[in-house]
Structure 1
Amino acid sequence: MKKLSKILLLLHLLLAPTVQAQEIAILKYGGGGDWYANPTALPNLINFCNQHLRTTLNPKPSTVEVDSPNLFQYPFLHMTGHGNVFFTQEEAENLRMYLLSGGFLHIDDNYGMEPYLRKELAKVFPNKEWIELGADHPIFKQQYKFPKGLPKIHEHDGKRPQAFGIFDNNRLILLFTYESDLGDGWEDPEVHNDPKEVRLKALQMGANIISYVFKS
């Protein structure tokens, strides 16, 4: 029965309507963490990409749960939060199948989720390691150039910003942006009162991620 379910889900991904080919969804997870953090961030990034990259992303991102078959409708998932993350085994299997079937997950640590995330992603990919992306990775060389790699948007612990990836057959399937807080930079200006140049840098890096995923 489980094998049949997997086949049906793969067919769902392959046969998903083309109208949804450029939709982004926010990943709703369990464990008590605030998956809903930064409510204005993703809409602002989508608007920026539609204006400057000429993408046709749905301006209103959807929300999808980790164990939902609807996961496969979205080529790009975004996940954020400050605290605890928990995946059931069923959720871990569904997320693994989604990523191995062509999906992509960007996780932006809004501060505090990293230790929980490491434990839960080990359920999803017990045999895969996080690999830090060097500044020479193509994701930093899309329309906007970041010769030093991931930019620093908000200061928390004084650590350098890092971008970690999980790969499958040389394809980047998961990106974890850490100690950068891109999502805060995507939010409405009055939320954090970031300087214009800081918000622009965050939006440009976000646009690079979008560009990289949809071109790959």
Structure 2
Amino acid sequence: MSRFKFLRSRVAIVVLLLGGMIGGVAFAQRGRWWRDGGITTDRFGVPDWEVDEHFPGDLFTFVRIKYDSYGGRGGGGGWRTDYRDSDLNFSLRLQQLTSMKVNPEPIVLELTDERLFDYPFIYIIEPGSLVFSEAEAEALRRYCLNGGFLMVDDFWGDSQYENMRRELERVFPDRQPFEVPLEHEIFHNVYDLKEKPQVPAINAARRGMQGQVGSWEYASDGSDTSEPHYRAIVDDEDRIMVFICHNTDLGDGWEKEGENQWYFEEFSVKKAYPMGINIVTYAMTH
């Protein structure tokens, strides 16, 4: 049995038994932590927890992918966006709110790292300028077709999406992304979401006079960003192996949970964490 299958078999049992309890666990706002410019081991005040020393590898680990940007077509940030607060906070909430055993220490890897195949879930953020090398494209293809799951997050507008689509076409020339319907289990497997969540960056979150919430996010190319899109690329068995979160920024909902009470309640609690937990649960049970 492969490592991916071993991890998933354990998670599937636990989620089926305890999944109904997750929605009743309360979120509690915590403080703010500052980011470092590079890879660091500082936790910035995020609580740590012990793991079973007898099963050090039997854990979910949040893996952020480090990539080079070679002047891609869409602009945008880079792999460090929301690092490292986002990864720490999400790992903590996944540990608190689900029965998964979670590694308190998220890691950063390159796609060509030989350790990639030790982890069934990887995360790429701000891909508007991303251009894969040939080695990275080949490694990502092998990873996904062998059971791995890639989540892509936090990019806005048509040109940034087109850049990511073209790069993924190099990885999967015979497979195209499609819009995932709201009825798909990934929106309902733990938290039953009634709409596809849109999470703006904290400085673009909008609150109307009547209490309505929304986003002031805009795209550098002027294209419409009002509608979030969740697209997927699947394998031959219809398993989602690439999940693309476009016109939304789940990572900011994780990173900025401690900076503003209203943003925390409206976007972190109601949207960013439920969608993220659903995504990881799907990745770890399929």
Which TM-score band applies after superposition, normalised by the shorter structure?
0.7 to 0.9
| TM-fit CA distance, 1:81 | 1.7
Counterparts of residues 85-124 of structure 1 (less than 5 Å)? 85-111=130-156, 113-124=160-171
Label 1:138 to 1:14 Cα distance change in 2 as closer, same or farther (>3 A): closer
| TM-fit CA distance, 1:142 | 1.5
Q: Which amino acid aligns with 1:37?
A: T
43, 46, 49: which one aligns with 2:91: 46
Secondary structure of the equivalent of 2:57? Answer: helix
Residue number in structure 2 paired with 1:34: 78
CA contact (8 A) 2:256 2:264 kept: no
Residue number in structure 1 paired with 2:199: 153
Residue number in structure 1 paired with 2:256: 188
More strand by share: 1
57, 69, 92: which one aligns with 2:102: 57
- Of residues 126-135 and 195-204 in structure 1, the stretch that sits farther from structure 2 once superposed is 195-204
- 1:213 has 2:280 as partner: no
Q: Which amino acid aligns with 1:38?
A: D
Distance 2:131 2:282 in 1: 28
- TM-score, normalised relative to structure 1: 0.86
Q: Which amino acid aligns with 1:58?
A: N
Label 1:20 to 1:117 Cα distance change in 2 as closer, same or farther (>3 A): farther
**Structure 2 unaligned spans of 5+:** 8-54, 71-76, 201-214, 219-224
Matched residue count: 205
- 1:162 has 2:200 as partner: no
187, 191, 198: which one aligns with 2:267: 198
- Of residues 105-114 and 81-90 in structure 1, the stretch that sits farther from structure 2 once superposed is 105-114
Q: Which amino acid aligns with 1:151?
A: P
Q: Which amino acid aligns with 1:19?
A: G
Q: Which amino acid aligns with 2:241?
A: I
CA deviations on 1:94-153 (whole Å, 9 max, x unpaired) are: 1100000010000002446423211211110011010110000000111111122x2011
CA contact (8 A) 2:111 2:136 kept: yes
Residue number in structure 1 paired with 2:245: 177
Deviating runs (4+, > 4 A) in structure 1?
11-18, 190-193
Secondary structure of the equivalent of 1:173? Answer: strand
Q: Which amino acid aligns with 2:226?
A: K
Alignment RMSD, CA only? Answer: 2.4
The percentage of aligned residue pairs carrying the same residue is: 30
- 1:136 has 2:183 as partner: yes
**Structure 1 unaligned spans of 5+:** 1-10
Label 1:152 to 1:97 Cα distance change in 2 as closer, same or farther (>3 A): same
Q: Which amino acid aligns with 2:186?
A: I
Q: Which amino acid aligns with 1:177?
A: C
Distance 1:166 1:183 in 2: 21
40, 65, 76: which one aligns with 2:121: 76
Structure number, greater radius of gyration: 2
| TM-fit CA distance, 1:18 | 7.2
